[in-house]
Each structure stands twice: as structure tokens, then as C-alpha cells.
Amino acid sequence: TAGGTNADAANAGGSPVQTVECGWQVFPTKYNNDAAPTLFIYWTADGYNKTGGYNLERPGFVQTNNKWALGGKLDTVSVNGGPQYELEVSWKLSDGNWWLYLNGTDTASSVGYYPASLFGAGQLASNATTIDYGGETVNVTAWPPMGSGAFADQGYMKAAYHRDVYYFATDGSAQPASLSGQQPSANCYTVFAQEGPPPWNRYFFFGGPGGGNCS
């Protein structure tokens, strides 16, 4: 998926959620008061309880390509109303490992992997059942902007977006995603899902200014 926030794979049903996640985040309290967009990964095997962690801070992810600094600043970022930059993110379960690919899906684009054994007898030991694309915010004193702070209907060069959204099926084939937009705080953040010609294919715009009246 090309875009600017996280993609995750999760199990469904009554058992604790399991995820592998990747994207960029603005998290000053974590990254030395730096508000720059930062590349991150995360995983959990028990619903964010005792397992998991960010980047390489705890055991889990095996990095095989040092081209990318997990937990490091992104070199180029989009400009509201100006140049747009994309980060292509893919997860693929292969030979018992959840492999992460950035800016391509060939071997040279692989960054490393989470061993599927981390997930025990849980869903991600064999496959994912849902995939989430988009953004999320956390409230401290007020809800912060998502993406550029523009609502989805402002479109290209204004709102954040994901384009050419697809997933790898259990047989390894790439399949176009069936997108279902969720905007639980529509007065603060919106999403606009569409389908178009290549290179956009399945895509959506999203984001918003946040504020003090989001839930």
C-alpha cells in the first residue's frame, strides 16, 4: 500500500488481537520531543497486553536490511499544496515469517521479518483475517490533526491518502482490497474511498484537523 500511515494485519473473533504494523507516526514524547514523521513498526500477540513493542526496542523483529532506520526520521515528507511523497508498505507471510517490504516487493526491498512463531497458536501464526489502512490519533489535551489536517474531501495535495491498496492472499497472489471506510469522529476526521484507473486503483483520502470535540 502506498501512503503515509500504518497498515496492520489482525485476527478476528474472541481471541486477543494480534497485529504486525508499519507506517509513520508523529510522537514527540517518544522520539526526544521531535515532531518529525518517523518510520515505525509494531507487533502484539495478546491485544497489546504483555507482548510486542516498537521498532527494535524489544526482541521480535529480525532486520535483514539496514537501508531503513526503524524509529528514524523519514527523509522526505509531503508539502500541503506542494510536492507529494509516498512510502510503499507491504507485509507478506512467507516460509513462516511475516516479511516487511518498503518501496517495492522484490527481495532487495525486504527490510526484515517477524517470525510467525511469535504468535503461538493465534491467528497470525497462519494468516491474517483483516487489514487496517489509514491513520489514528491519541488524545492528550485535545485531538491532534491527522495527516496534513485536511479533511478527505480536499483531495490530492491536501489530504493524506493511500493508493493502489491491495493484499496478498494465502496463495501468495496480489488481490485488490475491498475498502470499507470508518470515520467514528466525522466532525474531526473523514475518509473518502474510491476506485480509479492505474496507478491509483483502489484508493482513499483521509485526515482532518482534530479538535476538542472528538470521540
Catalytic residue IDs:
21, 136
| Residue among 117, 134, 113, 136 at smallest CA distance from 125 | 117
Task: For residue 41, give the C-alpha cell.
Answer: 513498526
- For residue 15, give Cα distances in angstroms to 12, 36, 121: 7, 36, 11
Contacts of 128 (CB under 8 A, 6+ apart): 9, 10, 11, 93
Contact 100, 111 (CB under 8 A): yes
Residue closest to 162 by CA, chosen among 186, 191, 137, 187: 191
Query: What cell does 3 get?
Result: 501512503
Nearest to 113 by CA among 127, 96, 94, 99: 99
Task: Find, among 47, 40, 86, 46, the residue nearest to 61 by Cα.
Answer: 40
| Grid cell in block for residue 177 | 482490497
